Structure 1
Amino acid sequence: MFHKKKALSKKVNTEFGDILLTGPVSSNQLSELEIHSQLHAFRPPLKQLEALKEIASLDEGRILIALDQNLIIGYVTFLYPDPIERWSKFQMENLIELGAIEVAKEYRGSHLGSKLIELAVSDPFIENYIIISTEYYWQWDINETKLSVWDYRKIMEKMMNKGGLLPAPTNDPEIMSHPANCLMVRIGQNVTEQDQQLFDKLRFLNE
């Protein structure tokens, strides 16, 4: 079971005033908050809030949020990989996925995304885990930012780097389907050599 007892929080001074970064938050805590109308990259905001509540209720689910007063303006999610994906094939209890990260467009100049990831990995217990993030260009809001695929990829990579996630090779067909896609990985200091080898096998499955 994924450890989520340690409460993390940090205040960040921005042009909008102090923004509170905090988590992991519970489903009940999320019920008391509002969600910014610009958090719609994956689904409409209110449905996204319901999805966050569902993740927060999972044993392994971890949600960290950025708050402007009572308004969620950003979030990052951690949970086990989807059962239909290769990353859950070996059912590694210490393999967790950074599933989604989103910050409301008007707040993006404050680097809240990278700060949320930094906060998430500041829990020493994270060193027991392998964290992955699967980056697919079709999930990026390129139209809103007007950036090229490659410029957006650089931004995503830089943001993940703040949490210690680095690009790692894999033969996963979805990731290999476009050169901008990538697998980002952070291997905790306490992960055994045996689990690292199992993860290497997972990255290069013989389909």
Structure 2
Amino acid sequence: MLEHIKNYFKMEYEKNSQTIIIEGPVSEETLNTYTFDEHLNAFRRPNDQFEALKEIASLEEGRIIVARVDNNIIGYVTFHRPDEFERWSEGNHPFILELGAVEVSDSYRNLRIGQNMLKLSMMDEYMENYIVLTTEYYWHWDLKGTGLDVYDYKQLMINLMAVVGFEVYMTNDPEITSHPANTLMARVGKHITTEQQLIFDEIRFKHRYFF
């Protein structure tokens, strides 16, 4: 049984005369001492998203990585158990974790913040005990803000996730197969067993013999 150990890491670097701090996993108590950038609104209103981050941070398996300038959060990555309504939660396997969201404020794009948050999140050796999956849906992407079409954005996300070892995986999940730009990616930790890998494969192709 996994203990969901969380080891804290931190990095700092200078960009545009500002010190950008990447850190995590951070606790709910730490998040309460920070503010949340008003441009972090890709998934819901900023205040609501900030509350969602605090809730995830309070979970035993939840992990929040943040980027901040001073005490103002300008980016974040979330890790949590798959949603109970998604197939990835089937069997309630503790070794399956979902990378739920990566978001960076519009004012701080193109500064490698997303990439650095992902790199820091995988500095923890304990992450090697997980299969971390991420479901990329085109309707969550900032196509208007970036000027990219869905396939260019898909490649952008694949390249970003590949930096920390995520690979594209096939699946018959209806939400993924509903559009060719949607993508399932996963990072299989070094300590994942063959049995655990087979369980993940079975979930990916649930009901495959009934088509």
Q: Residue 124 of structure 2 aligns to which amino acid in structure 1? A: D
1:145 aligns with 2:150: no
CA gap 1:119/1:2 in 2 versus in 1, 3 angstroms: farther
Contact 2:9 2:24 in 1 (8 A): yes
Q: Residue 100 of structure 1 aligns to which amino acid in structure 2? A: A
- Aligned length, in residue pairs: 207
Report the counterpart of residue 131 of structure 2 in structure 1: 130
Q: Give, in angstroms, the shift of residue 2 of structure 1.
A: 5.1
Unaligned runs of 5+ in 1: none
Report the counterpart of residue 163 of structure 1 in structure 2: 164
Q: Give, in angstroms, the shift of residue 16 of structure 1.
A: 4.4
1:72 aligns with 2:73: yes
Report the counterpart of residue 172 of structure 1 in structure 2: 173
Report the counterpart of residue 35 of structure 1 in structure 2: 36
* 3-state SS in 2 of match to 1:63: strand
Contact 2:6 2:126 in 1 (8 A): no
Q: Residue 8 of structure 2 aligns to which amino acid in structure 1? A: A
Q: Give, in angstroms, the shift of residue 13 of structure 1.
A: 2.2
Report the counterpart of residue 21 of structure 2 in structure 1: 20
Q: Residue 98 of structure 1 aligns to which amino acid in structure 2? A: L
Q: Sequence identity, in percent?
A: 45
CA gap 1:88/1:167 in 2 versus in 1, 3 angstroms: same
Q: Residue 138 of structure 1 aligns to which amino acid in structure 2? A: W
Contact 1:4 1:24 in 2 (8 A): no
Report the counterpart of residue 3 of structure 1 in structure 2: 4
Unaligned runs of 5+ in 2: none
Quick one: distance in 1 between partners of 2:134 and 2:14?
A: 28
Q: Give, in angstroms, the shift of residue 158 of structure 1.
A: 1.0
Quick one: distance in 2 between partners of 1:65 and 1:58?
A: 16
Q: Give, in angstroms, the shift of residue 3 of structure 1.
A: 2.5
Q: Residue 155 of structure 1 aligns to which amino acid in structure 2? A: L
Displacement over 3 Å in runs of 4+: none
* 3-state SS in 1 of match to 2:78: strand
Report the counterpart of residue 57 of structure 2 in structure 1: 56
Contact 1:73 1:104 in 2 (8 A): yes
Quick one: distance in 1 between partners of 2:152 and 2:137?
A: 14
What's the TM-score once normalised by structure 1's chain length? Answer: 0.97
CA deviations 1:145-204 (Å, max 9, x no partner) are: 221111111111111111211111111110000000000110001001100011111110
Q: RMSD of aligned C-alpha atoms?
A: 1.1
